[in-house]
Every structure is written in C-alpha cells, then in structure tokens.
Structure 1
Amino acid sequence: MTEVSDAEVGLPDDRPELTDEQVAFLASVFDLVRDGQTETVTRYLDAGVPVNLTNPNGDTLLILAAYHEHAALVGALLDRGADTERLNGRGQTALSAAVFRQQAGIVTALVSHGANPTAGSPDARATAAYFQLTEMSALLDADAIPPVATARADD
C-alpha cells in the first residue's frame, strides 16, 4: 500500500494529531461519497473537511464520486476546487473512472474543469480505447467540451 503524505491529503504540516474519533469520522465521509449523499458531504466540506481528502488507497472524494456515478456530488466537489489530476494508488484519475463507468455527464464536467485525458495509467483515453467506448472517446476529443469560465483575480 502506498503511503499518502498529509500534504497530498490536503492537511497542513502543522496540524495536530487526529483522535480515533476524528479518523473514524473522516473515514465515514468516504462512505457518504460512495452512497451519493451530496447534501451531507457538501455540508462537511463547507465546515472544513478537505475537498481533496484521500483514503489509504489513494482514492479522493472526487475519484469515488465519479466511480460511483454521483454526478451532483462530482459537480459539488469540482465547485469547491477538487483536484482533477490526483491519482489513486493504482494510477487512476476521476476521469478514467468516469470513462470506465461510461458517465458522459461526469466526463463532461471533469474535462470542462481541466481534467487531463492523458493523466494516469491507464489514462482516460486508453481506458476508452481498451473497452471500445466510442462515445467516451468522442467526449475526450480536445475540442468536444469547452472549459468552465473561471473568474480572474483582476476582475
């Protein structure tokens, strides 16, 4: 199993040690993501749970939401700045998970938020090609999905 650093999980270097109860709570957030509990998860994120929280397998909340086909939760995580380029312990991204699960809406959301179709191993394009997912391959075309407009710092 790959060790994940505090910085990779999104925790500050000078944080206090977590209690067993806090660790159990954070682990429960992953179960909520798997179950698609968008309202509860977003409430926890807004209260301070790191949006890039990562489990011991390297799965982020975004990777799990994409894999378990929870489009609303993927959108909420992206709106809160979830990192689309994080790799889990198997080298997979949220985008490759969404492609594998053939979730066009999630693929569109991830790509429009900057997810790189060639990140990871296997990457999203290789996943689409291997499983002959022509609709997913078409979505991953560089011109198929416009990027989300973001506010500039000088606006």
Structure 2
Amino acid sequence: MTDTDISASQTMTEDEAAEFAEQVFDVARQGNAVMLERLLEKGLPADLRNHKGDTLLMLASYHCHADAVRVLLNHKADPEIRNDNGQSPIAGAAFKGDLAVVRLLVEAGADVDGASADGRTALMMAAMFNRNEIVDYLISQVVPNKIF
C-alpha cells in the first residue's frame, strides 16, 4: 500500500464526518471531560460549531458540566461565541442555574453584560428564573457605574 492509498483510506466521507461531529457534540452535551481532553489534544478545534451555531462550550455550559467547561476553556475555547440565536454560554449556564459554570466562564473573560439578540443578559436570565446566587454573583462582577 502506498502513502496515497493510506491517505485515501483514512479520509472520511461527508456522512461519516457529519456523524463523527454529532458524536463530538454529544460528548460535550454529556460532559465527558476526559474524552473532550483527548479529542482536543488530537487537534479537535475548541470552538467547533454545529448546524445551530452552538459551540462545544455552549453545549457543556448549558448542560451544567463544569469539568467539561474547564477542559474547553483550558484549550482556549472562546466564551463569547454566540449561537445562531445570539445566545451565549454564560446566559445558558445562568438560565440553567449552574453557578460553578457561570464562575468559570466569567473567569475566562465572558462578558457579564453581554446581551442576546433579544436584549437579555445572563443576569436577566438568572433573575427571571430565581437563580438568586447567580444574580448576586453577576451583580458583584458588573462594573459599578454600568449597573444604572
């Protein structure tokens, strides 16, 4: 077998690539930090997006998987990439009520004041769903003269 044959045999079809990508997004949804770490070390882009514009970080954040979020952030996933609906990972974590994930995202540079297309911020999402610990934390992170 020549190098060309080996290279050709290792190339995925479009369908295989799409199935693999969906499996990768499931890994993020399920919070499998160990598998994410392995994939990222092998060259998986940390900011890979699906057909809805969701990044791996968005899915891990929304599904409350702090260890997976930490792995992605350690591999330089951008906490500011929004999905096709303009939603951010921090807003998803605030909506779901996961303070640990919200803290990780803020520490990684997520914009506490960033709003989605409909104008809602993570603070608003937390307040709407009575996530009081997150409300208090986000208020503590806002620049004082921007509150009013």
**What TM-score, normalized to structure 1?**
0.76
For residues 132 and 78 of structure 1, what CA distance do their matches in structure 2 show?
27
Q: How does 1:51-62 map to 2 (within 5 A)?
A: 51-62=46-57
Residue by residue over 1:17-52, the C-alpha shift from the partner in whole angstroms, topping out at 9 and shown as x without a partner, is 973222221221001111121111110111011100
For residues 108 and 98 of structure 1, what CA distance do their matches in structure 2 show?
10
Aligned to 2:4: none
For residues 31 and 49 of structure 1, what CA distance do their matches in structure 2 show?
14
Give the unaligned 5+ runs of structure 2: 1-11, 143-148
Give the unaligned 5+ runs of structure 1: 1-16, 145-155
Say which is worse superposed, 116-125 or 48-57, in terms of deviation.
116-125
Aligned to 1:102: 97
Does 1:133 pair with 2:128? no
The CA deviation at 1:113 is: 0.8
Give identity over the alignment, percent. 38
Residue by residue over 1:45-66, the C-alpha shift from the partner in whole angstroms, topping out at 9 and shown as x without a partner, is 1101110000111111001001
Partner letter of residue 126 of structure 2? Answer: A
Could you tell me whether the CA contact under 8 Å between 1:87 and 1:120 is conserved in 2? no
Say which is worse superposed, 113-122 or 72-81, in terms of deviation.
113-122
The 1:31–1:143 alpha-carbon spacing in structure 2 relative to 1, beyond 3 Å, is closer
**What TM-score, normalized to structure 2?**
0.79
Count, aligned residues: 129
Structure 1: which 4+ aligned runs deviate by more than 6 Å? none
Residue by residue over 1:60-82, the C-alpha shift from the partner in whole angstroms, topping out at 9 and shown as x without a partner, is 10010011111100000011101
Aligned to 2:70: 75
Could you tell me whether the CA contact under 8 Å between 1:92 and 1:123 is conserved in 2? no
The CA deviation at 1:93 is: 0.6
Say which is worse superposed, 130-139 or 32-41, in terms of deviation.
130-139
Q: Select the structure of larger CA radius of gyration.
A: 2
The one of 22, 33, 39 aligned to 1:38: 33
Could you tell me whether the CA contact under 8 Å between 2:36 and 2:71 is conserved in 1? no
Aligned to 1:124: 122
The CA deviation at 1:143 is: 4.2
For residues 42 and 143 of structure 1, what CA distance do their matches in structure 2 show?
29
For residues 53 and 79 of structure 2, what CA distance do their matches in structure 1 show?
13
